[in-house]
Amino acid sequence: MFLINLYKKYITKKSLSIFKKNINLLGKSYEFGPHCYAKLLYGSQKDDITIEDNVSILSGCDLISSHGGKIFLGEYCKLQNTNILCVDRVEIGKYTAIANNVTISDNNNHPINPDFRKFMRTTPHGSDARSLIHSDHAPIKIGENCWIGQNVRIQKGVTIGDNSIIAANSVVTKSVPTNCIAAGNPAKVVKTDIHLIPAPTTCKEYNDYVKNGQ
């Protein structure tokens, strides 16, 4: 058992070392969990994945940049078991929290054309035909202080406004305004003006924060 635990610690340390080598870190304070991977494919470089200060990337996250796709994570945002597939740009704003098993893809993964997809199946893994760049793609922007629920998928070309919430199990195919809750497949706005909903008064730390004018 001791040797197994020692081996697990070694693998975790090694994977985190590789993860850090493939990303551009801005700042000094981070939290990185086990089984996180930053993959640079088809010419992408370290500077294509940028992470600001105080970001938490917990277990099971895959950040995949292909053909120079830009991934940007703002200060204090949090990801857990999140998959990001990028050939264009995926931007996640400050303070945004992303729950388990979320996929954010700025591309369709494969072209729609049936003949191309049939040809692709005959090519080896790693061939150009299997690259994400050949599918339709458009940038994704998730605003500041958003909350993305469990099992959500966010599709290409979507913008999610500041403070908005995406309910669990939603598939977001169209942009969502600020201060809204969107839910469903495809996701639709089900509540607006959530910034007008009073904050809870049961948290002393928050009450002190407000009292001190923070």
Model confidence pLDDT, tens digit, residues 9-28? 554 555 567 788 899 999 88
Name the catalytic one among 67, 110, 134, 195.
110
The predicted structure's pLDDT at residue 27? 82
- The model's pTM: 0.90
Q: Which residue has the higher pLDDT, 9 or 167?
A: 167
Report the pLDDT averaged over residues 151-158: 98
Tokens of 150: 């469990």
The CATH H-level superfamily of 2-211 is: Hexapeptide repeat proteins (2.160.10.10)
Q: Is 110 a catalytic residue?
A: yes
Report the pLDDT averaged over residues 49-70: 94
Report the pLDDT averaged over residues 84-110: 97
The predicted structure's pLDDT at residue 212? 86
The answer to whether the CB of 40 falls within 8 A of the CB of 22 is yes
What residues have CB less than 8 Å from 3, skipping those under 6 apart?
A: none
pLDDT digits (tens, 9 = 90+) for 202-212: 999 999 998 88
How far is C-alpha 152 from the chain's CA centre? Answer: 11
pLDDT over 90 (residue 143): yes
How far is C-alpha 114 from the chain's CA centre? Answer: 29
H/E run at residue 163 = none
The predicted structure's pLDDT at residue 75? 97
Report the pLDDT averaged over residues 87-106: 98
% residues pLDDT > 90 (the chain): 80
The predicted structure's pLDDT at residue 64? 96
pLDDT over 80 (residue 146): yes
CA angle 147, 56, 202 (to 5 degrees): 55
The answer to whether the CB of 149 falls within 8 A of the CB of 166 is yes
Backbone φ and ψ for 13, nearest 5 degrees, come out as -65, -40
The answer to whether the CB of 53 falls within 8 A of the CB of 78 is no
Using alpha carbons, select from 80, 91, 85 the residue that is nearest to residue 51. 91
Report the pLDDT averaged over residues 132-140: 96
Q: How confident is the model at residue 7 (pLDDT cuts 50, 70, 90)?
A: very low
Domain boundaries, the chain: 2-211
% residues pLDDT > 70 (the chain): 92
Report the pLDDT averaged over residues 43-66: 94
For residues 159 and 178, give the distance between their C-alpha atoms in angstroms, rounded to a whole number.
10
The predicted structure's pLDDT at residue 213? 79
